[in-house]
Amino acid sequence: MTTDVITTPKAPLTTGARGSNGTGHRPGEKSFGAGRVIAFAILIVLAIAWLLPFAWAIVTSLKSETDAASSASWIPENGFTLGAYSQVLAEGNIPLWTVNSILTAVVITALTVATGALAAYALSRLDFAGRRTWYIAIVAAIIVPPQVLIIPLFYQALAFNTVDTYLGLILPQVVAPAMVFILAKFFDQVPIELEEAARVDGASRLRVFWSIVLPLSRPILAAVSIFVFISAWNNFLWPFLVVNDTSLMTLPVGLQTVKSAFGVQYAQNMASAILAALPLIIVFLFFQRQIIKGISTTGLGGT
Amino acid sequence: MTTSTVSNRAVASAGPAARKAAGPARNRRRSTLTGYAFMAPFLVFFLLFLIWPVVHGVYLSFTNQSLTGSGGQIIGFSNYLEAFTDSQMWGAILNTLWFTLLSTVPLVLIALAMALLVQMGLPAQWLWRLSFFMPFLLASTVVSLIWAWLFNPSLGLINSFLATFGIEGVAWLQDPRWSMVSIVIATVWWTVGFNFLLYLAALQNIPDQQYEAAALDGAGKWRQLFSITIPQLAPTTVLILILQVLASLKVFDQIYQLLNQAITPSTRSAVVYIFETGFTGYRFGYSSAISYIFFALIIIVSLVQLRATSRKSL
């Protein structure tokens, strides 16, 4: 029953997100008319509205605290300064939290994708007792909101003594049934002939998986990895609950303490926000195409 | 979840594995071993951090367990009975539904408008995509820091912008009449990029021939939009709606962070209330009961949505 919740809306979308993300010219739409001018104007207004918060945060972060707290002007009376940044970097823990964020997000992504791909391959290709039951359980689990589990998960962390440890921070974030489902759907579509040929030649299942299936699945593995990485990088609730030790905090959690610590230091608040946002935005600028493709592919349920 | 474990032959549609279902018993045992060898790493995490908490949470909801370790006796349905007469819980659920409605409508419509406009092939494609999607890459705390500053009543950009038009600003986050709207505004800015990308991907999959044929038949741009584009996007719209409603129902981060822990009865969401009863009230048992009431709500909403949309999309 719960299976349908997940599969039915996605079923019609098996061809989704294949299109290139290049410019989307439609034949016949290239003429310049009043319609295009209006559309262009609306786009510009929307883009400004979406970029303005960034711009305002950057400008504020470059002000002195006095200027930031005196008026909402774009040009500070006393000129621009990097003071807030040097203050934040010198007094705060942002470099440490960045390292923690990279570490946790990388480990979570690696574990999620590795365990998920193996399981998805088994669900898609191998015949074993209980396969159907596990498949249904995993698909049904997609609907379980992680927020509903915070109490038992925290209770478990207390029992395992993993509160305020990397283990307690990382391991509970390594379950992504939706990603298993997406990968299994992808493996279902990989032609089986290559694998069968290799099996006839005596290759083991693991060998087939490693040297035939995985190379064929690079795009979907990249998509899933990107999605998992971004979710892990930005995850707030669980790291916030399980970590109290400042030296173990990830960027999103650490930033929450900055707000209360710096209080009304607006320039420093914005400098912290920019510094915390920077790593992922830089990665995005370099891998824009792959990230956009990865997010839309995963969001549309694979393929 | 109660399906028989030996009915593999019935799942012909689920993959080629089913083809080999009728092997000799020994092969069968062997392949079961291989299967579980592949499944094992995932199952460890799945059982430990998903299935077990789901089960244990149900148990906790029938106890008076506290965060401090005291309690833990089974008290039957007391937590549930208390929850059903707890006006704060009902308030939190109503707020959650209200937030879901307020946020989902613009998050779908603005995303659609953005995707349609970008898809027209106007210059500076990368710029539009960058502007609309970049906020989605930010952590909730970054978003909250920036928007708390934008919403600042005296120094914030929004009120000073309104002032240039002679409009007197409001205390966005502090005024109970505006705080939920403010949360919605920040949320739309933050997450619309995800829906925008899904729409954009779907738009690129509509075959050009359909537009060419329509153009030959003399259909104008607006006609094409409503008779080709919007209907072709229906499955994507259904998907986005479902994902968005589920995401909005789980709202926590923005509310908790933007309101700086000064959450009022008019802004308390269901997850915020779960968090408060569990981690500031220390009532793990009661919090678990509320979690499951909330979970039931999510399942009900999903089923209602499915029923409402399946007729249209399939």
Distance CA(B277)–CA(B91), nearest Å, equals 14
Distance CA(B58)–CA(B246), nearest Å, equals 21
Q: With CA atoms as reference, report the closest residue to B226 among B114, B313, B112, B123.
A: B112
Q: What value does the mean pLDDT take over residues B142-171?
A: 92
Using a CB-CB cut-off of 8 Å, the residues of chain B touching A138 are 46
Environment class of residue A41 by beta-carbon count within 10 Å: exposed (0-12), middle (13-18) or buried (19+)?
exposed
Residue A162 Cα, gap to closest chain B Cα (Å)? 13
Q: What value does the mean pLDDT take over residues A197-223?
A: 91
pLDDT digit string (tens) for B160-183? 999 999 898 899 998 889 999 999
Residue B183 Cα, gap to closest chain A Cα (Å)? 15
Question: What percent of chain A clears pLDDT 90, i.e. is strictly above it?
Answer: 64
> With contact defined as beta carbons under 8 Å apart, do A111 and A92 qualify?
no
Which of A3, A67, A131 should one mutate to test binding to chain B, selecting the residue with the greatest count of B CBs within 10 A?
A131
Distance CA(A145)–CA(A244), nearest Å, equals 23
Angle between helices B140-150 and A266-286 (to 10 degrees): 130
Domains identified in chain B and CATH numbers: 87-313 (1.10.3720.10)
Interface contact B121-A54, CB threshold 8 A = no
Report residue A32 as tokens. Answer: 């310049």
What is the pLDDT at residue B23? 52
Local confidence band at B311 (pLDDT 50, 70, 90 cut-offs): low
Q: Is the pLDDT of residue B2 over 50?
A: no
DSSP state, B15? -
Using a CB-CB cut-off of 8 Å, the residues of chain B touching A256 are 141, 257
For A191, name the nearest residue in chain B, comparing CA atoms only: B16
Interface contact B288-A151, CB threshold 8 A = yes
Q: Is the pLDDT of residue A301 over 80?
A: no
Report residue A227 as tokens. Answer: 């999605």
What is the pLDDT at residue A11? 32
**Domain assignments of chain A as residue spans, ordered by start:** 34-81, 92-299
pLDDT digit string (tens) for B198-225? 999 999 888 888 888 888 888 888 888 8
Interface contact A180-B314, CB threshold 8 A = no
For B288, name the nearest residue in chain A, comparing CA atoms only: A151
Collapsed DSSP state (helix, strand, coil) of residue A30? coil
Q: Which residues 59-98 of A have a C-beta within 8 angstroms of B?
A: 60, 68-69, 71-72
Phi, psi of B50 (to 5 degrees): -130, -60
Average pLDDT across chain A, whole number: 86
Residue A188 Cα, gap to closest chain B Cα (Å)? 6
Helices (H) and strands (E) in chain A, counts: 17, 0
Judged by average pLDDT, the poorest of A155-159, A162-166, B151-155 is B151-155
What is the pLDDT at residue B10? 38
Collapsed DSSP state (helix, strand, coil) of residue A19? coil
Using a CB-CB cut-off of 8 Å, the residues of chain A touching B6 are 129
Local confidence band at B124 (pLDDT 50, 70, 90 cut-offs): confident
Q: What is the CATH number of domain A92-299?
A: 1.10.3720.10
Which of A128, A193, A210 should one mutate to test binding to chain B, selecting the residue with the greatest count of B CBs within 10 A?
A128
Nearest to B145 among A111, A184, A259 (CB): A259
Q: Which residues 191-210 of A have a C-beta within 8 angstroms of B?
A: 192, 205, 209
Check residues B84 and A14 and name the one with the higher pLDDT: B84
Using a CB-CB cut-off of 8 Å, the residues of chain A touching B249 are 145
Q: Is the pLDDT of residue B41 over 90?
A: yes
pLDDT digit string (tens) for A247-294? 999 999 999 887 766 567 899 999 999 999 999 999 999 988 888 888
Where do we find the tokens 């990279």? A102
- How far CA A141 is from CA of A169, A298, B38, B46, B216, in Å, comes to 21, 17, 19, 9, 49
What is the pLDDT at residue A91? 84
What is the pLDDT at residue B222? 82
A171 touches chain B (CB under 8 A): yes
> With contact defined as beta carbons under 8 Å apart, do B75 and B64 qualify?
yes
Environment class of residue B57 by beta-carbon count within 10 Å: exposed (0-12), middle (13-18) or buried (19+)?
buried
Contacts of A113 (CB under 8 A, 6+ apart): A179, A221, A224, A225, A228
Which of B137, B190, B248, B256 should one mutate to test binding to chain A, selecting the residue with the greatest count of A CBs within 10 A?
B137
Interface contact A174-B45, CB threshold 8 A = yes
Distance CA(A73)–CA(A55), nearest Å, equals 12
Q: Is the pLDDT of residue B14 over 70?
A: no
Interface contact B287-A151, CB threshold 8 A = yes
Contacts of B166 (CB under 8 A, 6+ apart): none
Q: What value does the mean pLDDT take over residues A226-252?
A: 95
Q: How far is CA A64 from the centre of its chain?
A: 34
Q: Is the pLDDT of residue A121 over 50?
A: yes
Interface contact B274-A151, CB threshold 8 A = yes
What is the pLDDT at residue A58? 96
Q: Which stretches within A131-211 are classed as H helix?
A: 131-141, 150-160, 166-170, 177-189, 193-200, 205-208
pLDDT digit string (tens) for B279-307? 999 999 999 999 999 999 999 998 898 88
pLDDT digit string (tens) for A136-157? 999 999 999 999 999 999 999 9
What is the pLDDT at residue A298? 86
- How far CA A37 is from CA of A142, A246, B109, B114, B120, in Å, comes to 44, 52, 21, 15, 11
Q: Is the pLDDT of residue A27 over 60?
A: no
| Radius of gyration over every alpha carbon of chain A, rounded to an integer in angstroms | 24
DSSP state, A213? I
Q: How many CB pairs under 8 A join A and B?
A: 385
